[in-house]
Chain A
Amino acid sequence: MALRVAVLGVGALVMFAIIFFRLWYLEVLSGDKYRQQANNNKVRLVRDSAPRGAIVDRQGRTLVENRSATVIQLRPTSLPDAERLAANRWGQAVGLRLRRPKGHRGSPIPLPPVPFVAGQDLKGRYAALAKVLGVSAQSIHRQVIQQLAITPYAPVTVKTDVPQPVRDYIKERQERFPGVDVKRVFLRRYPYHQLAAQIVGNIGQVSPAELKQAKFRGIPQGTVVGQDGLEYSYDRYLRGRDGLTRIVVDASGNPSRTDIQRQPEAGRQLQLSLDLGLQRTGQDAMAQAGHGLPGGFVALDPTNGQVLALGSYPSFDPSILSRPITQTEYDRRFGASAGAPAYNRAIAGYYPTGSTFKPITALAALTTGIITPETPINDPGCLAVGLAHQQFCNAGKKANGTVSLRSALQVSSDVFFYSLGQNLNGLPHQPLQSWAYALGLGRRTGIDLPGEIKGLIPDRSWRTHINNLERACEKRRKKASCFISDKRDWTVGDNVNLAVGQGDLQATPLQMATAYSTIVNGGRVPRPHLGLRVLDNSGRLLQTLNPGATRRIQINPTYRQAIMDGLHLAASAPGGTSADVFSGWDQNRFPVYGKTGTAQRNGQKDQSWYVAYSYDGTPSHRPIVIAVTVEKGGFGAEAAAPAARLLLSKWFGVKSKFVVGHSATR
C-alpha cells in the first residue's frame, strides 16, 4: 500500500513537472513570439480607396471626374480553398486557350461548378447574396472565378453601384453575409461622354503582371490604376494614396475599436493642353465630313508640341467601362463591326499618307541639290520609270505642263515628285528615307500616350529584311506564301511611290502633324504632349510637366520658304488643290498652308488626307497644325480638307462653313 501511494505521489510529481516545464517554455522562453501572434490576431488593416484626380482641359473644363459608388465585395480569405483552387485552374485553362492562335482555340472553357465544401454552404451564401442584389447566384460565382483567376488576393467585386436600401440591408445583417464587405469606391465619370474617349483611357485593378513593372512597383494588390490612355501615362499623379484604417476585431470579425492610421490622399488634377471646344468640333467634323467613315485628327501647336485636339472616329462613352462588362457586350460595342471605337487612329493608324508626303520629298530633293526652288520640270501627265518603262501618272493623267516646286505643290503634280523620287533613289544614304525619318516618320513622336506606333518608311534594307523573313517562313512552314512580302527586290519604282506617299509607307496623323510642324518651325521637331500641369484639388499649380527634350534638324530657310509658299498657294490660289475648300476664307488674316492627300490602298477606296498650318495675323499668334484623315474618304479635298476647315474656323472663332472641294488630285 505504501509503495502504491508512493507511486501515485511520484505520478503527481511527474505530471506537475511536465506542466511547469511546458509553461516555462511557452510563457517565458517563447512568450514574445506568442505575444506577437496575439497582437496580429486582433488587428486588421482596411484600405479606404482614395479618389483619383480629375482631368481638365486647358481652360479648366472637367473631362474626367469622380463619383462615389457603393460596391459589394467578397473577401477572398472568406472563400473556401476549393473555390480559390477552382479559380486558379480555370484561369490557367483559359490562359492556355487564349495562347492558341485564333481559329484554333476550340470551345470556350466552361466555368467550374460551385465546389461543395462540407460545413461551408458556399452555394447558399451566393444564393443569399444574389437574392438581395437582384442577380443570379451563378453570376456571382462567375465574377468570383474570373476575378480570382486574375488577382487571387484582391477583394472580388460582386456588384457595383448598389442602391442605398440594399447597402443598408447588408450592413445591418453582416452576420448573415459572411465575408461580404460593403465599400465606398470612386468610379470615373465622364461629363462629355464620347469626347476624347480614346486618349482618356480607363482604369482597373492592377494586375499581377503590371505589379512587376517599375511604374507600379510597391503598390498593393487590388489598387485601382490607369490601364490605358492618360490614366495610364499620368497614373502616378492621378492615383492618390489609399487610406489605412487599423481595426481591432474580435474572433467573429466584428470591429471593436477603429483608428485611422492614414487618411486617404486624393490624387492630383491633371491639366491637359487639349481644348475641349476644338476637340468637340473635330469629332463633329469627322462625323459630318467623313459621313461616318472611320478616321483620325490631330491639332498641334507647332511651336511647343501641345496637342490641342486629338481624336479618332468612331468614338465611345468610356463610362461603359467603369463597370464590369461581359466579353460578348465588349465585342459588340468595341469589335470590328462597331468600327473599333477604342482604337486611337490618330496615333496608331497604319496609313499611307498620299500627297501630304510631298513637302518631305521636296525638302530631300532641295537639300541634296537635285533641284532648286526654281528648277522647271515638264509634267506631261505620265512618267516612264526604270528599265521596264513603267508608267507613273497623275490622277486622271492630267497634264500640268512645266512646273517648278511652288506650282507643283500648288497643283499637286505627281509627275514632278515622281521624277524627284526617281532621282533621289540613286543617291547614297537614301536621302528621301532619311529626311522622312528626320522629320519624325518611322519613329514614335514620343507623345504621352501609350500605344503609339512607329509606322514604316520603306527602304532597300527593309525590303531585303521582309523578303528574308518570307523565305524563311516559307521554308519552315512548307507553304507557297506566308504573305509577308512578294519577294520583290527594291526598285526605283518603290522610291517613286514613296515620293508621293504611296506604296508601303505607313504613318499616323500625329506623325504628319509633327513633320509639318518641324518644317513650320524651320527645324525644331516638337514633341507632342497632352499633359500640361499637375494641380492640387483646389486648382493650384503644383508642377508644370516637362514634355521632354526636342530634336533639331537643319532646314535651309530658303527651301522652307519655297515649300511654305507652295503649301499656301495650294490652299489659296486658283488651281490650288484645296483652294475651293477655303473659298470665302480670310487668307490675309488667317493664311492657310495646306496640302491634300489621297492615299491609294489595295482593294479599298482612297483614303482622304489633309494637313494644314495656319495662324492669326502673325505666326506667333495662335499657330496651329492640323492633320486629318478619313479612311475610304476619297480625295483629300473631298473629306479631310473640309473637316480641317471646320477645325480652323473653330480655332480662330470665325463663322464655320462646310465646303467640299472638287480637286481630283492625289
Chain B
Amino acid sequence: MSTTAITDPGSEAAPTPRLPGLLPFDLVLALATIGVMACSLVTLHAATAGGGGYRPDIPGNPNFYVTRQGIYFAVGSLLAIGLSRLDYSRLRELKYGLYGLLMVSILLVLGLGSVAKGAQRSIQLPFFSFQASELGKVLIVLVLSSFVVDRSRRLGARDTTARVMLLALIPAAFVMMQPDLGSSLVYLVIVITVLFVAGTAWQHFAALAALGALAITVVLVAAPAVGVQVVKPYQKDRLTAFLNPTDNPAKQGYQQNQSRIAIGSGEKTGRGNNATQTKLNFLPEHHTDFVFAVVGEQWGFGGAALVLSLYALLIWRGLRILTMSKNLYGALVAGGIVAMMMFQVFVNVGMTIGIMPITGIPLPLMSYGGSSVITTLLALGLLQSIYAQGRRAAAYKGRVLSF
C-alpha cells in the first residue's frame, strides 16, 4: 500500500498510511452525543434546581443532580474515549470473562444489593450505587456477538439460535428477579437483534415468536390461575394501565396521566418557568424515568423534537457504523447497541406520552443515573471504535468490509 508508483503524478491527495495512534472518529456521532448530554444537563437543571419561587428537589443543594450527572458524563466520556481508541475485536477473546462478570455482578446485586423503592437493583458503592443490570446491557451485546461469531458457520442450525437465546435468557431471568422487568426486556431485544443482524433464518424467529406468545400466556394467565406469581401484580397493573390510564388516576394510571398532562401542557413552545407539573412535583421521577416529560413541558414540541432528532442522529450513525464494520463481530456489536438505544428511547418516550407501559427503562444519556450514563457512553465508545477500526481497515484494504 505504501507504494505510490502507479498514482497519477499530478495528484497530491494520495492515500497515505495512517499512524496507529491517530485513529479517525465519527464527528457526527460525537456531536450528537455531546448534544444529548448538554440537553440532559439543561433539563435536569430545570427539573430539579427549583428557583423562581419553586423549591429545589434537594433543599440546600439545588445543583445536586446536575453536578453529579456532569461528573458521570465526564467519567463516562473518558472511558468511552479510551475504549474508542482500542480495537474492540480484542474483546471477543474475553467472552468467557465478560459473561462471568455479567453473571457475577447480577448475582451480587441479588445477594447483597440495596433495596430502593421495593426493588433490589444496585450495589451501594462509596460514590454511587452500581446498577449491574445497566452495565450488563453492554456486556451482553459483546458476549452474545462473540458467541454468534463463533458459530457463524452454523447460523442456520436450530441449536445455535437456541443456545444464544439461552445465554441471554439466563441473565435476563435473574434481572427480572430483582425485579427489573425493563432491563430484562432490553436483554431480550438485544439478543433478537444480534441474531437478526447475524442472519438467523426467518423461521427461527417465527418459532421464537410462537414460544414467546406461549410464555406470556403462561405467565399472565395460567400461572396466576394455579397460584404462582411470576410477574408481580404491580408490574402487571403497570403493563396494562397505559391502555386505560384514566380508569384509575389515583394509582397505576397516575404517573402516566401526570406525564401526559405535563407534555401536553407544554404546547408548541413550552411553559418555561411555569412548568408546574415538574416544579410542583406532580410529575413523579422527573429526573430519571420521566425526564422526557420535563423536556415536553418546559420547551414544548420544539424541545422534544430537538431531543428526538439528536437520538435519530445517534441511531442513524449507529446503523451506518454497522455497515462500515470491518468484521462480523463489529457489525453484531453495533447492531446490538443500536437495538439497545432504539428500544430504550422508544419505550421510555412512549411511556411518557402514554403509548407504552411503565417499565422503568431510563432514557439513555438524558435520565439521571451513573450506571445508565456510563453504560451508554461505553456503548457509544464501542461504536466509535468500530467506526475507527472500520475506517482504518478500509484505508488499508481500500474497501469497506462487506458480507
Complex: A24 Cα to B263 Cα, angstroms? 10
Contact between A23 and B304, CB atoms less than 8 A apart: yes
**A654 partner residues in chain B, CB cutoff 8 A:** none
Stretch of A28-36, A486-494, A537-545, A560-568 on the interface side: A28-36
Q: What string of 1s and 0s marks CB contacts (under 8 Å) between B282-293 and chain A?
A: 101000000000
Q: A12-B342, A19-B346 are in contact. Are A5 and B322 (CB under 8 A)?
A: yes
Complex: A1 Cα to B403 Cα, angstroms? 7
In the complex, A11 has a CB within 8 A of chain B: yes
Contact between B197 and A8, CB atoms less than 8 A apart: yes
Which residue of chain A has its CB nearest to the CB of B277? A38
Contact between A18 and B266, CB atoms less than 8 A apart: no
Q: A24-B301, A28-B267 are in contact. Are A8 and B353 (CB under 8 A)?
A: no
**A252 partner residues in chain B, CB cutoff 8 A:** 281
Contact between B264 and A5, CB atoms less than 8 A apart: no
Stretch of A187-195, A243-251, A392-400 on the interface side: A243-251
Q: A18-B355, A256-B53, A256-B54 are in contact. Are A42 and B267 (CB under 8 A)?
A: no
**A35 partner residues in chain B, CB cutoff 8 A:** 264-265, 267, 271
Which of A12, A41, A248 is the one whose CB lies under 8 Å from B261? A41
Complex: A22 Cα to B305 Cα, angstroms? 12
In the complex, A480 has a CB within 8 A of chain B: no
**A37 partner residues in chain B, CB cutoff 8 A:** 261, 264-265
**A9 partner residues in chain B, CB cutoff 8 A:** 316, 319
State which residues 305-334 of B face A: CB under 8 Å: 305, 308, 312, 315-316, 319, 322-323, 331
Contact between B342 and A15, CB atoms less than 8 A apart: yes
**B365 partner residues in chain A, CB cutoff 8 A:** none
In the complex, A173 has a CB within 8 A of chain B: no
B261, B262, B281, B304, most chain A CB atoms within 10 A: B261
Contact between B349 and A27, CB atoms less than 8 A apart: no
Contact between A34 and B260, CB atoms less than 8 A apart: yes
In the complex, A4 has a CB within 8 A of chain B: yes
Which of A4, A16, A39, A251 is the one whose CB lies under 8 Å from B196? A4
Which of A7, A20, A33 is the one whose CB lies under 8 Å from B308? A20
**A256 partner residues in chain B, CB cutoff 8 A:** 53-55, 280
**A26 partner residues in chain B, CB cutoff 8 A:** 260, 263-264, 296, 353-354
Q: A250-B55, A250-B281 are in contact. Are A33 and B264 (CB under 8 A)?
A: yes
Contact between B268 and A31, CB atoms less than 8 A apart: yes
Q: Smallest Cβ distance from B242 to chain A, in angstroms? A: 12
Q: A15-B342, A31-B267, A256-B54 are in contact. Are A41 and B277 (CB under 8 A)?
A: yes
Complex: A1 Cα to B331 Cα, angstroms? 10
In the complex, A257 has a CB within 8 A of chain B: yes
Contact between A19 and B308, CB atoms less than 8 A apart: yes
In the complex, B300 has a CB within 8 A of chain A: yes
**B197 partner residues in chain A, CB cutoff 8 A:** 1, 4-5, 8
Q: What string of 1s and 0s marks CB contacts (under 8 Å) between B322-361 and chain A?
A: 1100000001000100110010011001100111000000
Which residue of chain A has its CB nearest to the CB of B343? A15
**A251 partner residues in chain B, CB cutoff 8 A:** 280-282, 284
State which residues 385-426 of A face B: CB under 8 Å: none
**B264 partner residues in chain A, CB cutoff 8 A:** 26-27, 30-31, 33-35, 37-38
Which residue of chain A has its CB nearest to the CB of B300? A27
**B319 partner residues in chain A, CB cutoff 8 A:** 5, 8-9, 12
Complex: A20 Cα to B265 Cα, angstroms? 16
Q: What string of 1s and 0s marks CB contacts (under 8 Å) between B35-55 and chain A?
A: 000000000000000000111
Q: A23-B301, A26-B353, A250-B280 are in contact. Are A38 and B262 (CB under 8 A)?
A: yes
Complex: A33 Cα to B277 Cα, angstroms? 14
Which of B271, B282, B315, B335 is the one whose CB lies under 8 Å from A250? B282
**B353 partner residues in chain A, CB cutoff 8 A:** 19, 22-23, 26
Which of B54, B276, B323 is the one whose CB lies under 8 Å from A38? B276
Q: Smallest Cβ distance from A251 to chain B, in angstroms? A: 4
Which of A5, A11, A27, A42 is the one whose CB lies under 8 Å from B296? A27
Contact between A23 and B296, CB atoms less than 8 A apart: yes
Size band of the interface chain B makes with A: 35 or more
Q: What string of 1s and 0s marks CB contacts (under 8 Å) between A423-438 and chain B?
A: 0000000000000000
Complex: A24 Cα to B345 Cα, angstroms? 17
Complex: A16 Cα to B55 Cα, angstroms? 35
In the complex, B146 has a CB within 8 A of chain A: no
**B331 partner residues in chain A, CB cutoff 8 A:** 1
Q: Is the interface of B mostly helix, strand, loop or mixed?
A: helix
Contact between A12 and B304, CB atoms less than 8 A apart: no
Q: Smallest Cβ distance from A5 to chain B, in angstroms? A: 6
Complex: A306 Cα to B381 Cα, angstroms? 97
Contact between B268 and A12, CB atoms less than 8 A apart: no
Q: What string of 1s and 0s marks CB contacts (under 8 Å) between B52-67 and chain A?
A: 0111000000000000
Contact between A257 and B199, CB atoms less than 8 A apart: no
Q: Smallest Cβ distance from B387 to chain A, in angstroms? A: 15
**B276 partner residues in chain A, CB cutoff 8 A:** 38-39, 41-42, 248
State which residues 350-402 of B face A: CB under 8 Å: 350, 353-355, 402
**A31 partner residues in chain B, CB cutoff 8 A:** 264-268
Complex: A12 Cα to B276 Cα, angstroms? 33
In the complex, B193 has a CB within 8 A of chain A: yes
Q: What string of 1s and 0s marks CB contacts (under 8 Å) between A225-259 and chain B?
A: 00000000000000000000000111110001100
Complex: A33 Cα to B264 Cα, angstroms? 8
**A28 partner residues in chain B, CB cutoff 8 A:** 267-268, 301
B196, B280, B339, B342, most chain A CB atoms within 10 A: B280
Complex: A549 Cα to B253 Cα, angstroms? 63
Contact between B322 and A32, CB atoms less than 8 A apart: no
State which residues 253-279 of A face B: CB under 8 Å: 256-257
Contact between B305 and A23, CB atoms less than 8 A apart: yes
Contact between B312 and A34, CB atoms less than 8 A apart: no
State which residues 86-141 of B face A: CB under 8 Å: none
State which residues 264-323 of A face B: CB under 8 Å: none
Contact between A20 and B281, CB atoms less than 8 A apart: no
**A15 partner residues in chain B, CB cutoff 8 A:** 342, 345-346
State which residues 241-277 of B face A: CB under 8 Å: 258, 260-268, 271, 276-277
B197, B264, B355, most chain A CB atoms within 10 A: B264
Q: A1-B199, A251-B280 are in contact. Are A27 and B308 (CB under 8 A)?
A: no
Q: Smallest Cβ distance from B276 to chain A, in angstroms? A: 5
**A16 partner residues in chain B, CB cutoff 8 A:** 308, 312
Contact between B349 and A19, CB atoms less than 8 A apart: yes
Contact between A32 and B315, CB atoms less than 8 A apart: no
Q: A8-B338, A19-B346, A37-B261 are in contact. Are A248 and B268 (CB under 8 A)?
A: no
Which residue of chain B has its CB nearest to the CB of A8? B319
Which of A4, A11, A27, A42 is the one whose CB lies under 8 Å from B263? A27
Which residue of chain B has its CB nearest to the CB of A26? B264
Q: Smallest Cβ distance from A175 to chain B, in angstroms? A: 14
State which residues 550-570 of A face B: CB under 8 Å: none
State which residues 158-203 of B face A: CB under 8 Å: 193, 196-197, 199
Which of A7, A12, A42 is the one whose CB lies under 8 Å from B282? A42
- 9 cross-chain pairs, A with B, having the tightest CB-CB distances, nearest first: A34-B264, A31-B267, A38-B265, A250-B280, A251-B281, A27-B301, A35-B265, A34-B265, A26-B264
Which B residues are closer than 8 A to A by beta carbons?
A: 53-55, 193, 196-197, 199, 258, 260-268, 271, 276-277, 280-282, 284, 296-297, 300-301, 304-305, 308, 312, 315-316, 319, 322-323, 331, 335, 338-339, 342, 345-346, 349-350, 353-355, 402-403
A22-B355, A34-B265, A35-B265 known, 13 other contacts, Cβ within 8 Å: A5-B197, A5-B319, A12-B319, A15-B342, A23-B304, A28-B267, A28-B268, A33-B264, A38-B265, A38-B271, A39-B276, A250-B281, A256-B53
Q: Could you pull out 12 A-B pairs where Cβ atoms are within 8 angstroms?
A: A4-B197, A8-B338, A19-B350, A23-B305, A27-B267, A35-B265, A38-B261, A38-B277, A41-B261, A41-B277, A250-B282, A256-B54
Which A residues are closer than 8 A to B by beta carbons?
A: 1-2, 4-5, 7-9, 11-12, 15-16, 18-20, 22-24, 26-28, 30-35, 37-39, 41-42, 248-252, 256-257
